[in-house]
C-alpha cells in the first residue's frame, strides 16, 4: 500500500508541470485524485496518464480558480465526485515578471490573483469539508523567491505573492489547530517545466550559472517537487505543521 492509500487528494493545476507530476505521484501512492486546470485538453491528458498507470483520477476543466466562484465550483465538484477531502494541494498558479520600473499595474494584479488569491479561495472553500472530515492536510506553494532576491530575473510580484502565501499559511496553521488541519508550504527552487524550459534552454540564459550554484548540480524536475509534496501530505508527516520545505537542491543554503 502507498503512503496515501485511501486518501482523497484535491490537486489544482494538474494539466502540466508539477501539477501533472503530483497527480501521477499521489495516485501511485494510492490517493484518489481530483484535479483541475484552466486548459481542458491538458487536464484530460493527465487523467488519461494516471488511469493508464492504474490510478484513480477525476478532474474539472476548464475552471478559473482566481475567482471565489471558480474555486468553490472546483471544490464542490470534487466533493460531489468523491464525497470528501483529506488533502488540498494548492499547486495552480500563473505569474508575470518583468523590470520593476516599467511593470504595468495589471501584471502585478494578475500575479497576486493567480499566486495568492487562488490558494486563499480554494482553502476557504475546502475548509468546512476538511473540518467535517475530522482534519486533513493543506499544502500551499511558496518559493525560494519569497525569501531571497533573484539577480538573474526580476520577479517582484512573484516574490511578494509567495511571501504572502508563506504568511497566510502560518495563520492557517493556527486556524486549523482546533480542527486537526495541518497547513504547510513547499518552496520549489528552479524547476524544469514547459513554462521554464524556454528560459532554461536559452543559450544566453543563466542555466549554467544556476546549476553551478546548486549543490546537487542541476535544476529540479517536477517529480522532485511532487515526491516531497506527497510526503508532506501523508500521515508520515503528521508532526510536520506550519513548516516551509525548501526543495531546491540546496540552492537556498548557498551565500550570494
DSSP string, 29-72: TT-EEEEE-S-HHHHHHHHHHHHHTT-EEEEE-S--TTSHHHHH
pLDDT of amino acid 63: 98
**Residue ranges covered by each domain of the chain:** 8-245
Residue 256 predicted with pLDDT over 60:
no
Tell me: the pLDDT tens digits for 73-86? 999 999 999 999 99
Tell me: the pLDDT tens digits for 111-126? 999 999 999 999 999 9
Q: Alpha-carbon distance 135 to 178, whole Å?
A: 9
pLDDT of amino acid 1: 80
Tell me: the pLDDT tens digits for 231-249? 999 999 999 999 999 999 8
- Burial classification of residue 86, based on how many CB atoms lie within 10 Å of its CB (0-12 exposed, 13-18 middle, 19 or more buried): buried
CB atoms within 10 A of CB 109: 13
Q: Would you state the cell numbers that stand for residue 81, as one nine-digit string?
A: 465526485
From residue 207, how far is each of 167, 180, 196, 198 by CA, in Å?
A: 30, 42, 11, 11
Looking at domain 8-245, which of 1.25.40.10, 3.40.630.30, 3.40.50.720, 3.40.50.2300 is its CATH number? 3.40.50.720
Amino acid at each position: 500500500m502507498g503512503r496515501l492509500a485511501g486518501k482523497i487528494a484535491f490537486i489544482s493545476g494538474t494539466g502540466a508541470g508539477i501539477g501533472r507530476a503530483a497527480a501521477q505521484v499521489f495516485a501511485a501512492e494510492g490517493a484518489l485524485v481530483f484535479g483541475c486546470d484552466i486548459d481542458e485538453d491538458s487536464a484530460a491528458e493527465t487523467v488519461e496518464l494516471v488511469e493508464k498507470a492504474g490510478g484513480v483520477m477525476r478532474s474539472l476543466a476548464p475552471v478559473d480558480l482566481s475567482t471565489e466562484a471558480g474555486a468553490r465550483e472546483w471544490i464542490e465538484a470534487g466533493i460531489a465526485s468523491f464525497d470528501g477531502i483529506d488533502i488540498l494541494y494548492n499547486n495552480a498558479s500563473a505569474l508575470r515578471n518583468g523590470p520593476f520600473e516599467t511593470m504595468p499595474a495589471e501584471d502585478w494584479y494578475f500575479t497576486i490573483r493567480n499566486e495568492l488569491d487562488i490558494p486563499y479561495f480554494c482553502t476557504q472553500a475546502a475548509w468546512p469539508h476538511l473540518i467535517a472530515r475530522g482534519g486533513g492536510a493543506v499544502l500551499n506553494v511558496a518559493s525560494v523567491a519569497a525569501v531571497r532576491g533573484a539577480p538573474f530575473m526580476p520577479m517582484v510580484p512573484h516574490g511578494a505573492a509567495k511571501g504572502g502565501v508563506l504568511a497566510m499559511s502560518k495563520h492557517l496553521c493556527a486556524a486549523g489547530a482546533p480542527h486537526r488541519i495541518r497547513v504547510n508550504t513547499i518552496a520549489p527552487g528552479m524547476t524544469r517545466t514547459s513554462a521554464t524550459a524556454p528560459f532554461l534552454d536559452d543559450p544566453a540564459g543563466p542555466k549554467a550559472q544556476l546549476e553551478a550554484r546548486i549543490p546537487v548540480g542541476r535544476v529540479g524536475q517536477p517529480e522532485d517537487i511532487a515526491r516531497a509534496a506527497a510526503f508532506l501530505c501523508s500521515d508520515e508527516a503528521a508532526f510536520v505543521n506550519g513548516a516551509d520545505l525548501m526543495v531546491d537542491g540546496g540552492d537556498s543554503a548557498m551565500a550570494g
